Amino acid sequence: MSTLTSATVTISGQPANSNNVSLVGRISCYCTVTVPASYVPTAPGSVTLTRVDNGVPTAWGVYVQNKSKLNVSWSAASGTGGATISQYRIYTDTGSGYYTATGTSIANLGPFTAGAKMVTVVAVDSRGRTATSAGVAYEVQPYDTLAARYEAAHARLGEIEAARTERRAKRANISRFLKTLIQHDACVTEFEEELWYLTADRVRAYEDGRLVVCFRDGCEVEVQAQAQELKAA
């Protein structure tokens, strides 16, 4: 009865007297044999999920709506009372349809809609009786949300790279500035055109007479020009 849950058994015989002499006719009786309801397969165990990125950047580390897929594996179930395991049903979400497999793994399921989900594996034996594994939860993230996060992160990375480039340029300017100053052993008391071009970047002049000298190392010095100096200029 490896494929049945119940069966009718017929028992028939030839009646005889006390001297073991057969009498005319036969006697038959019938009975139903039922496999106990407790005879169910063992449940699949150790259900393992493996994400298939399917074009999604691996660094994201999440299941993505309408993109990611899923590999599922589990340990084998076994039948009882002579039954065997005929198939496994793999549910990737509560209330959804299922995939089928005869082995202990299945690949490339999906892709899926967004939301929290649960994978269960159901063993079906040759009698049609079932046993269900413990569920394994996973969550599928909305694609639009992740795309927006990626774009924001990409933009921020561009800002960081631009700041690094600016700092490198500033460091190079400071190095040249210091190298030029070191070459002058004494204090500079007179205007030197070469030193000016090497150390100064620009000068900002204001209507109130203020002058702001911007040096190549990023420093700024503000001075108040005298009237005669402005007139001479």
pLDDT-based confidence at residue 119 (cuts at 50, 70, 90): very high
Do residue 134 and residue 158 come from a single domain?
no
Backbone angles phi, psi at 181, to 5 degrees: -65, -40
Give percent of the chain with pLDDT exceeding 70: 82
Per the structure, how many domains does the chain have?
Answer: 2
Do residue 97 and residue 74 come from a single domain?
yes
Q: Quick one: 22 exposed, middle or buried, by C-beta within 10 A (0-12, 13-18, 19+)?
A: exposed
Of the residues 141, 166, 184, which one is the last residue of a structural domain? 141
In a domain, 4, yes or no: no
Measured from the Cβ of residue 74, the count of other Cβ atoms closer than 10 Å reads 24
Domain of 218, in residue numbers: 149-232
Give residue 232's pLDDT. 46
Q: d(Cα 143, Cα 194) in Å, to the nearest integer?
A: 59
Do residue 219 and residue 154 come from a single domain?
yes
Give residue 230's pLDDT. 46
Give residue 44's pLDDT. 96
Higher pLDDT, 146 or 228: 146
Higher pLDDT, 25 or 204: 204
Q: What is the 3-state secondary structure of the chain?
A: CCCCCEEEEEEEECCECCCCCECCCCEEEEEEEECCCCCCCCCCEEEEEEEECCCCCHHHCCEECCCCEEEEEEECCCCCCCCCEEEEEEECCCCCCEEEECCCEEEEECCCCCEEEEEEEEEEECCCCEEECCCEEEEEECHHHHHHHHHHHHHHHHHHHHHHHHHHHHHHHHHHHHHHHHCCCCCCCCCCHHHHHHHEEEEEECCCCEEEEEECCCCEEEEECCHHHHHHC
User: Residue 220: which region, alpha, beta or left (left: phi > 0; alpha: psi -120 to 50)?
Assistant: beta
Higher pLDDT, 103 or 6: 103
Do residue 87 and residue 106 come from a single domain?
yes
pLDDT-based confidence at residue 14 (cuts at 50, 70, 90): low
| Residue 20, token pair as written in the block | 């073991």
Whether this model's pTM surpasses 0.75: no
Do residue 122 and residue 154 come from a single domain?
no
Of the residues 141, 161, 194, which one is the last residue of a structural domain? 141
Do residue 175 and residue 120 come from a single domain?
no
Q: Could you report the per-residue pLDDT of 15-62, keeping only the tens digit for each?
A: 666 676 665 567 777 788 788 889 999 999 999 999 999 988 888 899
Give percent of the chain with pLDDT exceeding 90: 35
In a domain, 180, yes or no: yes
Measured from the Cβ of residue 201, the count of other Cβ atoms closer than 10 Å reads 15
Do residue 64 and residue 115 come from a single domain?
yes
Q: What CATH code is carried by the domain that includes residue 61? A: 2.60.40.10
Do residue 94 and residue 77 come from a single domain?
yes
Among the ranges given (62-66, 120-124, 209-213), the one the predictor scored with the smallest mean pLDDT? 209-213
In a domain, 36, yes or no: no
pLDDT at 148 over 90: no
Of the residues 80, 112, 141, which one is the last residue of a structural domain? 141
Do residue 66 and residue 134 come from a single domain?
yes
Do residue 109 and residue 177 come from a single domain?
no
Do residue 169 and residue 96 come from a single domain?
no
In a domain, 37, yes or no: no
pLDDT at 125 over 80: yes
In a domain, 80, yes or no: yes
User: Are 136 and 116 in contact, with CB atoms under 8 Å apart?
Assistant: no
Q: What is the mean pLDDT of residues 69-81?
A: 95
Do residue 92 and residue 60 come from a single domain?
yes
User: Are 10 and 28 in contact, with CB atoms under 8 Å apart?
Assistant: yes
In a domain, 95, yes or no: yes
Q: Could you report the per-residue pLDDT of 94-107, keeping only the tens digit for each?
A: 667 899 999 999 99
In a domain, 74, yes or no: yes
pLDDT-based confidence at residue 196 (cuts at 50, 70, 90): confident
